[in-house]
Amino acid sequence: MSDIGNSNRISRAYIDSLTIETRYIDAASPDTAFTLFGERFASPIMTAALSHLDHFMFPGAALALAEGAKAADAALWYGMAEESEIEALAATGARMIEIIKPYTDRDKIIQKIRHAERLGLLAVGVDIDHAFGGDGGHDVVDGEEMTAIGSEELSEICRATPLPVIVKGVLSLHDARQCLAAGAAGMVLSHHNNRIEYAVPPLAILPEIAAIAGDTPLFVDCEIKTGMDAFKALSLGAKGVCIGRPLMTAIKKGGADAVRDYLTGEADALRKAMAYTGCPDLDHMDPTVIRRF
C-alpha cells in the first residue's frame, strides 16, 4: 500500500531537505542549558507525550521513560494515563508535563488538572488534535469519548489553573491565534503521528507561528529523532522538541539507561551542530543558518 500521503513521511522528507551553513570564525563550545517555566534542564530535547506505555509495551516501560528522562536531566512529557500511573511517574522526581485528552466530559479535564496541581507537575496541556476518529466522528479512546475544544472553553481551561497550560496539536495560524487569545502558556506543533494525512510538516509552518507567538514558547514533535533535527527546529523558532518513537525503541533495548543515553547523546549532537554554526547558546539560535534545497 502506498504511503504517499503519510504525514510522518512528508515531515521526515521536509526535515531532511533542510541544510545548514557552517560558521566557525569566532565560534565557541556551546551551552545547551534550557529553562522552561522556571526549571532548568540540560537541553531542550525532551520526551514526547507518550501514553499507556505499560499497556502497549510492557509493565515498567513508563517508569523507564521517566527514570531515563530524570537521569538525562530532561523534561518528561506524558499523555493519557490513570491517576495512579501519573503519580508513579511524578514520584521518580522527573519534572513532568501531563497532556490531557479533550474529553467530552469536560469535568474530567478539570479533575486531571487539579490532580496535576496536587502533584506539583511542571505544567499541563490539552491535546486538541485527538477530538476526531478515523471517520470524522467523535473519537473514543479506552471507552472515553472526545470532543473538539471550543475557543471559549480553552480560555476557561487556561484560567482554571495556576499551572502553565500548553496546547498540543497546533498546526495552523488559525489555531495558534486562538491559543494565544485564550492565554495558552505554550503550543506543541504536531500532527500526532500521522493522525491526518497530508498534514503540513511542523517545521514548515513553525516560522509563521513563531512570527506571531511573541514570548509564548513553541515545541515540536513528529519525526524529531536526532540532535540535528532538534537544531533545525530550534533555529526556526522552537523553544524545545519532543522525541517519541526512538525512546520507545530505547526502552525495549535497555530500559531507563538506554533512554538516558539516547537523550544525552542527542543533546551532544545538538551541541555539535550549534558549535559548527556559531550558536553559543539557545538564546542565539539563528534561522539564517538554515537553507532548504
What's the pLDDT score for residue 186?
98
Helical (H) or strand (E) element with 267 = helix 245-276
Query: Would you tell me how many other CB atoms lie within 10 Å of the CB of residue 24?
Result: 9
47-91: pLDDT as tens digits:
999 999 998 899 999 999 999 999 999 999 999 999 999 999 999
Rounded Cα distance between 199 and 264, Å, is: 30
Count of residues making up the chain:
293
What's the pLDDT score for residue 293?
83
What's the pLDDT score for residue 1?
45
CB-CB contact of 98 with 117 (8 Å): no
CB burial of residue 182 (10 Å; 0-12, 13-18, 19+) = buried
In 24-139, DSSP assigns E strands to 34-36, 39-41, 45-47, 76-78, 96-100, 123-127
Could you tell me the three cell numbers for 151?
475557543
Residue 157, helix vs strand vs coil:
helix
Q: What is the CATH number of domain 7-286?
A: 3.20.20.70
Average pLDDT value for the chain: 96
What's the pLDDT score for residue 168?
98
250-276: pLDDT as tens digits:
999 999 999 999 999 999 999 999 999
CB-CB contact of 116 with 86 (8 Å): yes
Model confidence at 249, pLDDT cuts 50, 70, 90, reads very high
4-21: pLDDT as tens digits:
899 999 999 999 999 999
Q: What is the pTM of this model?
A: 0.96
What's the pLDDT score for residue 3?
85
Average pLDDT of the residues in 211-222: 98
Average pLDDT of the residues in 108-120: 98
